[in-house]
């Protein structure tokens, strides 16, 4: 592999000049620049990234820590991050935290140890304090899906409470009054925020919140199954179910269909996230759109702007969810 020395020799210049040609084009004469470029091409020279990183103390790599890689949620986000970053020749190192504090911290250390220039974090278990302290370290971080007021400018997040509100308001407006709610795990921030929105909507319509109609799921399909069985077996009256994400809705609906209940004839459903499958399951899901891929892209842009000093980039921190009305919810008693 050709080194910068070879290029310098071939071009008849010093290695510093070659380096200058590669980096900032400042102060290098046009003629020599062409000579150097020609020499690089002839030798098929590629700078050694290791040496570059060592000397410049920057790796052009971004660590991305997500909670999980499978599931319909993080793929689109990762895809956006990758493409935005790659376009500027940065690369992405991934790690998974599994929503467990210890593993999240471990992953952060891992990424830091790898010399990432910055971190994009989607973490749930770790404390606000930890993140605040981390943000004061040498390596910049940006948070996806989480809002911490002390470092709000580094947070890219969705207004989850509004989303929860919109979902429940929709069924209220359709006329439902007995509404069950399948929450995400209460230890997750977005789960409690969505639930808050739900309560807010109920209050607005003067419908009392009943704890017995709210069951905690795990954000997975199985969680929806279990929650729905529990709800149905409790023999409580309800005509609509709002779920904190689409995966749980699909699990819940599958239980209903198995028991011969019609959806949305007997029971209306509203989901959350608008995952790709939401429009292909039957009935098509009425849900709240979660622009997770845009948030991923925005996180990448934030970095480009703040770390690599690429200005003229507009960054939005907070995203607003929107209701997507499809076929899984309708008026009560309308069979």
The stretch near a copy of itself (CB under 8 A) out of 18-26, 46-54, 148-156, 303-311 is: 46-54
Whose tokens are 């807010």? That residue is: 200
User: Which of the ranges 46-54, 79-87, 97-105, 288-296 carries the binding residues for DNA, by CB under 7 A?
Assistant: 46-54
Q: Can residue 245 be called a binding residue for DNA (CB under 7 A)?
A: no
CA-CA-CA-CA dihedral for 87, 89, 90, 96, to nearest 10: 60
Beta strands in the chain (DSSP E): 61-66, 91-96, 118-121, 141-144, 155-158, 179-183, 214-216, 240-243, 268-270, 287-289, 318-319, 322-324
d(CA 297, CA 129): 26
Identify the residue among 42, 88, 114, 152 touching a copy of itself (CB under 8 A). 114
CB contact at 8 A, 224 and 251: yes
How far apart (Å, rounded) are the C-alpha atoms in residues 16 and 88? 24
* 204 vs 222, beta carbon nearer a copy of itself: 222
- Among the listed ranges 145-153, 187-195, 252-260, 317-325, the one in contact with a copy of itself (CB under 8 A) is 252-260
2 part of the interface to a copy of itself, by CB under 8 A = no
Tokens of 206: 């003067």
CB 32, CB 8: distance < 8 Å: no
Residue 257 binds a copy of itself, judged by CB under 8 A: yes
Residues that bind a copy of itself (CB under 8 A): 46, 48-51, 53-54, 57, 59, 61, 68-72, 74-76, 78-79, 82-83, 86, 89, 91-96, 110, 113-115, 221, 250-251, 253-254, 257, 276-277, 279-282, 284, 293
Residues that bind DNA (CB under 7 A): 1, 3-5, 12-17, 19-20, 22-23, 26-29, 31-33, 45-48, 50-52, 54-57
């Amino acid at each position: 592999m050709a080194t910068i020395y070879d290029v310098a020799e071939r071009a008849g210049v010093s290695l510093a000049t070659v380096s200058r040609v590669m980096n900032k084009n400042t102060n290098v004469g046009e003629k020599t620049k062409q000579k150097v470029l020609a020499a690089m091409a002839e030798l098929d020279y590629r700078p050694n990234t290791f040496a570059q990183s060592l000397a410049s103390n920057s790796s052009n790599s971004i660590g991305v820590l997500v909670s999980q890689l499978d599931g319909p949620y993080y793929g689109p986000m990762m895809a956006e991050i990758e493409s935005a970053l790659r376009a500027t020749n940065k690369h992405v190192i991934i790690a998974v935290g599994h929503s467990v504090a210890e593993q999240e911290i471990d992953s952060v250390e891992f990424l830091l140890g790898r010399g990432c220039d910055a971190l994009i974090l989607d973490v749930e278990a770790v404390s606000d304090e930890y993140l605040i302290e981390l943000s004061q370290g040498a390596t910049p971080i940006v948070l996806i899906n989480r809002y911490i007021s002390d470092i709000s400018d580094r947070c890219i997040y969705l207004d989850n409470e509004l989303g929860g509100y919109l979902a429940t308001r929709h069924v209220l407006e359709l006329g439902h009054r007995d509404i069950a709610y399948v929450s995400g795990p209460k230890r997750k921030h977005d789960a409690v925020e969505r639930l808050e929105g739900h309560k807010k909507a109920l209050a607005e319509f003067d419908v009392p919140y009943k704890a017995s109609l709210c069951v905690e799921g795990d954000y997975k399909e199985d969680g929806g199954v279990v929650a729905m069985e529990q709800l149905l077996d409790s023999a409580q009256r309800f005509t609509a179910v709002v779920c904190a994400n689409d995966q749980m809705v699909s699990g819940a609906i599958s239980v209903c269909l198995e028991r011969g209940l019609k959806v949305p004839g007997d029971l209306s459903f509203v989901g959350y996230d608008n995952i790709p499958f939401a429009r292909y399951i039957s009935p098509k899901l009425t849900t709240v759109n979660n622009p997770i891929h845009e948030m991923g892209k925005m996180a990448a842009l934030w970095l480009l702007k703040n770390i690599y000093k690429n200005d003229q980039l507009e960054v939005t921190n907070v995203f607003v969810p929107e209701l997507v009305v499809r076929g899984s919810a309708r008026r009560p008693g309308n069979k």
